Amino acid sequence: MGVSLRAKSLLIWIALPSLPWLGALAIDAQSSQKVDFAKEIAPVLKAKCVSCHNVISPSGGLRLDSLEAIRKGGDTGPLFNRANPKESLLLVRIHGSDGKPKMPMGFAPLDAKTVSTIQTWIEQGAELQAPQTQRHWAYIPPTKHQPPKTKAKSWPRNTIDSFILDRLEREGLKPSAEAPPESLARRAALDLTGLPPTVEQLDAFLNDRRPQAYERYVDRLLASSHYGEKMARTWMDLARYADTNGYEKDLPRSMWAWRDWVINAFNQNKPYDKFVVEQLAGDLLPDPSKEQFIATGFHRNSMLNDEGGIDAEEFRIVAVMDRVETTATTFMGTTLACAQCHDHKFDPLSQKDYYRFFAYFNQSQDNGRDVAPVLSLPNPDQTLVLDRIRTEIKKLTLAIGARTPKSKAGVDDWEHRFSQNWLTSLPEAKAEGATLTVLPDNSVLASGADPKADRYLVSLPLEGIAQLSGVRIEALPDPSLPHGSSGRNFNGNFVLHKVIAKLHRAGGSDEPVLFQTSKADLVQAGHNPMDVINDGSGLGWAPGAFLPENRTAHSIVLSTSAKVLPNDRLILELRHQTVHPNHNLGRFRVSVTADADLARTVPPPAKIVSILAKKQRTPADAAELATFYSQASPELSELRARQKRLQTQADQLQARAPTVMVLRELEKKRANRLLNRGDFRTPGERVEAGTPASLGTPSLRQDRLGLANWLVSHRHPLTARVQVNRLWEQCFGRGLVATPEDFGTQGDSPSHPELLDTLSVELMEGGWILKAMLRKIVTSATYRQSSQLTPAMAARDPNNVLLARAPRYRVEAESVRDIALAASGLLNRKIGGKSVMPPQPPGIWENSFTFYDTKDRWLDATGPNRYRRGLYTFWRRTAPYPMALTFDTKSRDMCVATRSRTNTPLQALNTLNDPTFVEAAGALALQLSQKGVAYGFRSVTSRSPKATDLAALAALRKQARARYEKDPSAVTALMKAAGLKNPGTPDLASWVLVASALLNLDEAVTRG
């Protein structure tokens, strides 16, 4: 036996037939009956021994992961000596009586009761019973059980109580008395809203003498908008919600709209099955709404690595794997990630199962390093303006593209002018480096030397032209050029940097030609056609490299206005950009026109040119021509300019609107492959999307919507169980299954399996309504018990597994802060909105990136935002809010199904000194001074103070006032820290100390 390694990647399959027979273990004393191997021995082997004695790492040649291996023993022989049980090797190693380390290695020694049980089992023959079933309990669909009959007939209020009481009676225990009304009111408020009841809410409940007063109080809590906030708190941990991307830069992101969607979904009592489907596949629903797109942010909460130099595909795969693990943990309580590199060692999940599941999430557009795709969320005012602008743009678009007789005549006229008014004549051409050859079609082909920079001189007659309005340079593809393109560079591209023109008169004088506009049909990013006629500082015109489109002709048209005299010649100097060496034009043709409108029209792309060459055209061809004309025609330039201005306004307005990251599917699907050892660099066999066979009926669709519908199927064995368990944990601090992240063979078995299954079926049959399930739980007699702990209970059931009392524990981090704000009256109860930055110690965010980016700073909120609920605190993964970390909140790098609960001195220092708590003490002090100590005490604890409470507080106040009367500077400092106006008085300062003491009571932050 050896050290237990809980890391998922090291989990080993226990072939002790998956231990499917494990149920809730009895807590009573060791029985004299025959020891049951499956229930009493196998769990010990699983928990303490199998991690070192398994098929992967059989320490000492011993395996304890199958019945056959246990019978066989290890290198030193059999484990059992039935003739002399005390000399059995298993017991010798447990006792360490052979001088070797005591087993289990790395654990505390087994307790005497367990050792005695093992010895008794060996004495009884060490029988290894075969399992009754091969299926683990969690992989069998739940069924409803009849509530058991109990001896105490009057205690149960609903079916929950029958199951709890039956177990208590079998264990010889009795339930506790009902909690006092004040305690019950506070408990329910904290569990359902995360906030304590106000004094007014408390009085309304206590003064309601009618039957069912508590039930009505619960209904009011469930109807509160704060209910959605409480429910969302758990969901943010599951969804690894954060306001930043994670990794080194950890830059800000906008995801708060998804958080608000979750709050609203719970407040609207959205059925849980729809809640699940919309988060996993809202974008795939028929005609998805904006809210359904926002819901898919659940899986955009994963981290993004936006560092330079990373392999984007690696981090895309990491994000997809995170979605697999999050989905399995959140909805199935399954450690599916253990099968990422090899078959799961404990549960019936193969590596192929993992990658079939992986395939559902492998088709989203996001790439693991950018926030896109995002959904813009303009506010109502912005939406009104955007709607008006878009309506106007739509009208202009229709006007520009209208198919009217006038527009048809315009197209016909333009086509005639295009074919007749561009004139090409035989040119003369030479270059500084290349050899230029004039071809029969009057085009010019470059060959020979290809210098880094070249200059072409072209001369052509202007016969029949009285006015030069435009010059067209066509870049023509040629088989002799790289890739059959029109440029001489190896990638088929060219860069025309500058065009200089002049008219050479018959008498020998030259007249410069000035160009006004320059337009091209295809433009490489950053290479503006206007560069060729400007001062030469730009990059020049280029159509692009390695593009299939470059194997067709492309044109640039330069407009001018120059009078042409008889016998004039046009001289063009074509300069090629030296920043991009060897990017020289390969084949080209120069044409001229006197048609000013034609010269100001964008030259048609190759597709339009090919249509113009057709003798017979289809209706689609006609539509293509009309569309091109509407986009290029000078006659429509004013409409297009207005359209462009409006679009710019819309874009600017849209950029100011908040956004949320969402999921969208790819149009062209990726191939899905098994990754050998989980490495994206070693893809293996191809797999199709699918669900694990061990979990029942497969999904019908091979996409996320199919997966989501499979998860909420009534035949799915896990989804309802996992959610019921989560609700139970919310109300009792511990789930019926104590390992909510693992319902597999390595997790804990349910303490009340029949109750868990019955509630799970009721949840599904009741339409997946969570409020109804929570109402049933919190109105049960089990929930209403006192949390008073007796020594007998502590000895018999220290972890309160049997629920003979109500649990008592410290509330989660968000509620610790919220209780102080609520009790003091400072709490800003606004629901939803952008994350805020309450006070935190300086320097938390200091890193290399905040040094350069002054916007990336934590700026303490002022005004009402300073006192928002903890749910809305800005969450940075690499530097989380320190108060929340102190009270056990996780960094949210990954899905967290449950938080640990610790108690440390640092927590007390936090609630005594954190600015928020000091300011809350200041506000509460004003209430104490105005409304009395009893009112303030009830605001904090939800109960009336006892005489001893009042006496202790009075003594503290007297002592504090005496101190402050001697030290006026301390009064001034305290007033400033507490947010109270100076000059303060020793009396008010003493009230602040009393208020701080109240907020730091164990009772103030405890749910009991």
What is the tens place of the pLDDT at every residue in 398-442?
877 665 566 667 677 777 777 778 899 999 999 999 999 999 999
pLDDT for position 635: 67
**At a CB cut-off of 8 Å and minimum separation 6, what does 6 contact?**
none
Provide the terminal-to-terminal Cα distance of the chain, rounded to the nearest Å: 41
Of the candidates 3, 172, 19, 26, the one whose C-alpha atom is nearest the C-alpha of residue 101 is: 3
Give the pLDDT score at 150.
94
Give the tokens for residue 471: 């010059």
Indicate the SS3 state at residue 107: coil
One-letter amino acid of 436: L
Find how far residue 431's CA is from the centre of its chain: 60
Which residues in the chain land under pLDDT 50? 1-31, 132-133, 851-852
Residue-level pLDDT at 638: 77
Question: Residue 936 is inside which H or E element, if any?
Answer: helix 933-941
Determine the Cα–Cα distance for residues 554 and 549; give it in Å rounded to an integer. 9
pLDDT attached to residue 64: 81
Cα distance between residue 972 and residue 572, in whole Å: 83
Cα 232 off chain centre by = 14
Q: Which residues contact 484 (CB under 8 A, 6 or more apart)?
A: 477, 478, 492, 551
Q: What pLDDT is recorded for position 450?
A: 94
Rounded Cα distance, 167 and 161, in Å:
10
CA-to-CA separations, 896 to 310, 327, 358, 717, in angstroms, rounded = 27, 11, 20, 21
Q: Is 597 helix (H, G, I), strand (E, B) or coil?
A: helix
Q: Strand pairing of 496-504 and 569-576?
A: antiparallel
What does the pLDDT read at residue 70? 84
Q: Are 139 and 353 in contact (CB under 8 A)?
A: no
The predicted structure's pLDDT at residue 88: 84
d(CA 18, CA 131): 9
1007 forms beta bridges with 809
Helices (H) and strands (E) in the chain, counts: 34, 17
Please, what's the b/e burial string for 876-909 (b: 16 or more CB within 10 A of its CB; e: otherwise)? bbbbbbebbebbbbbbbbbbbbbeeeeeeeebee
Structure tokens given for 175:
């339930």
Provide Rg for the chain, Cα atoms.
39
Strands (E), 61-191: none
* Cα(19)–Cα(650) distance, integer angstroms: 62
Closest of 103, 83, 106 to residue 92, by C-alpha: 103
CB 674 within 8 A of CB 341: no
Integer angstrom CA distances of residue 344 from 351, 464, 617: 7, 84, 63
CA distance 752 to 1001: 34
pLDDT, residue 28, reads 36
At 561 the pLDDT is 95
pLDDT at 201: 97
CB neighbours of residue 151 within 10 Å: 8
Helix (H, G, I), strand (E, B) or coil at 757: helix
Of 194, 145, 182, 165, the closest CA to residue 781 belongs to 165
Q: What is the pLDDT of residues 38-74, one digit of tens each?
A: 778 877 887 788 778 877 678 888 888 777 788 888 8
